[in-house]
Amino acid sequence: MERWVEETLHGSHRVRLKADRVLFDSETEHQQLIIVENGDYGRVMMLDGIVQLTTRDEFVYHEMMAHVPLFAHGKARKALVVGGGDGGVLREVLKHPEVKTATLCEIDRGVIDLCRQHFPDVSAGAYDDARTRIVIADGTKFVHETDERFDVIMVDSTDPVGPGAVLFTKEFYTDCQRALSPGGILVTQNGLPFLQASELKQSVSYFRDLFADAFCYLATTPSYFGGPMSYGWATDNKDLRQHKVKKIARRYAKAGAFPTRYWRPDVHVAAFALPTYVRELVET
């Protein structure tokens, strides 16, 4: 008998994926997690009924969350990933030789353990890199209490459902602002602006109260059904969003021009060119 799994994120439509094989279907300490194999998307992980990653297209999200802020900053030594227990963003962060320490703060150790087992190519050794520090903790509590300062903070969260909801509050963003080094960059997962407009609009309005530059950029991940994904952008250095392709290309070459499948210098710059309906969300 065929089994299909259903994404239930949106109120007025749902998407089903055929589960050719179910590898895991149970509760972790914090959320419902299911891992299946699918003919189009490869191995798929869903948390609380929402697709988090697939092996076929994970490179899009992970490259764009890591490389855009790190190459825009240009001198990041300390990076923090909040969430991101699959290890994909961490993997991309560690491709930057100037990064000396990369802290991964994940609330659910079960996600890390299951991803080590079922998605080893996503983390690709990142958990065990000498520069990596893994902290099992609530991300809001960690950034509220830490005395460390980070050059780039990347919030690789689930959607604002369940344990991920607190990562979309003004209180959390305020603590992130405090935990950034001068001129640091905060990047957040902010959903699909076509279907989750209020989520992006609210986050950027909070950024505007806290930072000199509040904006977003876009990338399209096929398994995030409903249009391009938005990444919130916040920093006190307005120049970091204005780099030209040649400058990003020089930084990429200096970093070793490591292989990428989605991010590239011209895509980096173009990601900030927003369609009118998205620009209206972040500018009003």
Q: pLDDT tens, 86-103?
A: 999 999 999 999 999 999
- Both 189 and 210 in a single domain? yes
Same domain assignment for residues 50 and 79:
no
Cα Rg of the chain (Å, integer): 18
Q: Kindly report, residue by residue over 273-282, the tens digit of the pLDDT.
A: 999 999 999 9
Task: Give me the number of domains the chain comprises.
Answer: 2
Domain stops at, among 54, 71, 86: 54
Same-domain check for residues 211 and 259: yes
Q: Which domain holds residue 191?
A: 58-283
CATH of residue 93's domain is 3.40.50.150
pLDDT score at 11: 83
- 157 and 272 inside one domain: yes
Alpha carbon 247 to its chain centroid, in Å, reads 24
Same domain, 43 and 142: no
Residues 214 and 146 in one domain: yes
* CATH value at residue 44: 2.30.140.10
Same domain, 74 and 122: yes
In a shared domain, residues 64 and 21:
no
Interval 61-90 mean pLDDT? 98
Q: Let me know whether 36 and 118 are in one domain.
A: no
What is the percent of the chain with per-residue pLDDT over 90, rounded to a whole number?
Answer: 88
Contacts of 60 (CB under 8 A, 6+ apart): 219, 220, 221, 222, 261, 262
Between 230 and 10, the more confident residue is: 230
Single out the catalytic residue among 156, 209, 236, 266: 156
What is the predicted pLDDT for the residue at 162?
A: 60
CA angle 20–25–28, rounded 5-degree value: 150
Q: What is the spatial distance between Cα 156 and Cα 192, in angstroms, rounded to a whole number?
A: 14
pLDDT per position as a tens digit, 136-190: 999 999 999 999 999 999 999 877 666 667 778 999 999 999 999 999 999 999 9
- Is residue 23 located within the same domain as residue 120? no
- The torsion of the CA quartet 170, 171, 176, 177, rounded to 10 degrees, works out to 70
Which residue did the predictor score with more confidence, 4 or 160? 4
Higher per-residue pLDDT: 71 or 108 = 71
Closest CA to 176 of 207, 198, 197: 207
| Percent of the chain whose pLDDT exceeds 70 | 98
Catalytic residue check, 20:
no
Mean pLDDT of 208-225: 97
Residue pair 78/149 in contact (Cβ under 8 Å)? The answer is yes
Question: Could you read off the pLDDT of 222-262 as tens digits, one per residue?
Answer: 999 999 999 999 999 999 999 999 999 999 999 999 999 99
Residue 167 is predicted with a pLDDT of 78
Specify whether 88 is located in the same domain as 22.
Answer: no
Q: Looking at the structure, do residues 37 and 75 belong to the same domain, yes or no?
A: no
